[in-house]
Amino acid sequence: YRVDFIPLEKIPVWSPSGDSSCKPRYKVNEELNRKISLFRGDITKLEIDAIANAANKTLLGGGGVDGAIHRGAGPLLRKECGTLNGCETGEAKITGAYGLPAKHVIHTVGPIVHDSVGESEEQALRNCYYTCLHTAIKNHLRTVAIPCISTGVYGYPPDQAVEVALRTVREYLEQNHEKLDRVIFCVFLKSDKELYETMLPAYFPRG
């Protein structure tokens, strides 16, 4: 037992703070609202069924969240990743989590944005969120944390990525709510936390 591990029980369900100027884009659904959390911090500390990794196509480790996950998991993760033949953009592969408190890591590869976001980059980012959740339910995993895929070195503008993340998770949960207990948006930067707090009421409005 490590004191800096964060069990699911310590992560509150999302509830809106203050007034949101953001108009609802979906119907009020309290059952779905109870399955959403916004957590700011290190995804490697979460003691849950699965954490998603914003990996690269080699799956052999990199910087940012990928580096943190490989450091925390230890060399056995890299060893297992080495048997997977990489991963295409918008797809996902699942592994053990080794030294991490999570049970599994779902590695996905986000799109790289060079100048501006086009239809194919948006579709790829949507696929990342969709396939992470789908990989979780196929493996009977009920609690998943997902970082802000592609918004670091891969250059996807965070204000556009948040919309893709929230829309994809909302629509996935509408179809598969009985198979998932919690989806945690794990943000690292204060600016991302603020973006999610602003946009969550549009996608998961309260009654």
By the criterion CB under 6 A, which residues form the site for ligand ADP? 42-44, 54, 64-66, 68, 110, 147-154, 186, 188-189, 192
In angstroms, what is the minimal distance from the CB of 69 to ligand ADP?
Answer: 7
Q: Which is nearer to ligand ADP, 128 or 136 (CB)?
A: 128
Q: Which is nearer to ligand ADP, 32 or 68 (CB)?
A: 68
In angstroms, what is the minimal distance from the CB of 113 to ligand ADP?
Answer: 9
SS3 letters for 37-102? EEEECCHHHEECCEEEEEECCCCCCCCHHHHHHHHHHCHHHHHHHCCCCCCCECCEEEEECCCCCC
In angstroms, what is the minimal distance from the CB of 45 to ligand ADP?
Answer: 8
Residue 185's nearest CA partner among 142, 129, 136, 137 is 129
Residue 101's nearest CA partner among 42, 169, 182, 179 is 42
Q: Which is nearer to ligand ADP, 177 or 193 (CB)?
A: 193
Q: Which is nearer to ligand ADP, 6 or 202 (CB)?
A: 6
In angstroms, what is the minimal distance from the CB of 198 to ligand ADP?
Answer: 16
Taking the C-alpha atoms of residue 40 and residue 62, their distance in angstroms, rounded to an integer, is 21
